[in-house]
Amino acid sequence: MDRSQFYSATAGRTIKVPRRSRARFAIGDVVRHRNHDFRGVIFDIDPVYANSDEWYEQIPEGQRPRRNQPFYHLLAENEESSYVAYVSQQNLLMDDDGEPIDHPQVDQLFEEFRGGRYRLRRSLTH
């Protein structure tokens, strides 16, 4: 498989990637959602939408983000809970709070929080 495509187990198909897909954020960045009250730390990045069509269709039509942009996997939190979120680049902003994320899986993926961002555990890098 060349670099212009990848297989997504979640979507159950091969996803084509446009040549100019550029991620604005990086693994370990703390971000917040532009429209909803939650923040999180990025633990994975898809160069384009790589979830199921069913998941995409559940988003109200007027709020559906473009598929041909990076999508981020977040360990997310809000006032009530912690969860995993999948968010388009257009809906994320850098979080200027400067506080760590209170999510039970943070310690499994990241070593430390410093300077407003997390460092991925060395055992998880290649």
Tens of pLDDT, residue by residue over 64-110, are 999 989 999 999 999 999 999 999 999 999 999 899 999 999 999 99
Cβ-count burial of 116 within 10 angstroms (0-12 exposed, 13-18 middle, 19+ buried)?
middle
At residue 126 the predicted structure's pLDDT band, cuts being 50, 70 and 90, is low
Q: Model confidence over 13-65: pLDDT tens digits?
A: 776 766 666 889 999 999 999 999 999 999 999 999 999 999 999 999 988 99
Domain 5-124 CATH (choose: 2.30.30.390, 1.20.120.420, 3.40.640.10, 3.30.710.10): 2.30.30.390
φ, ψ dihedrals at 106, nearest 5°: -55, -45
- Cross-strand pairs, 104: none
Domain ranges of the chain: 5-124
Q: What is the 3-state secondary structure (H, E, C) of the chain?
A: CCCCEEEECCCCEEEECCCCCCCCCCCCEEEEECCCCCEEEEEEEECCCCCCHHHHHCCCHHHCCCCCCCEEEEEEECCCCEEEEEEEHHHEEECCCCCCCCCCCHHHHEEEEECCEEEECHHHCC
pLDDT score of 112: 92
At residue 11 the predicted structure's pLDDT band, cuts being 50, 70 and 90, is low
pLDDT score of 7: 73
At residue 122 the predicted structure's pLDDT band, cuts being 50, 70 and 90, is confident
The model carries a pTM of 0.85
* Residue that wins the pLDDT comparison between 126 and 64: 64
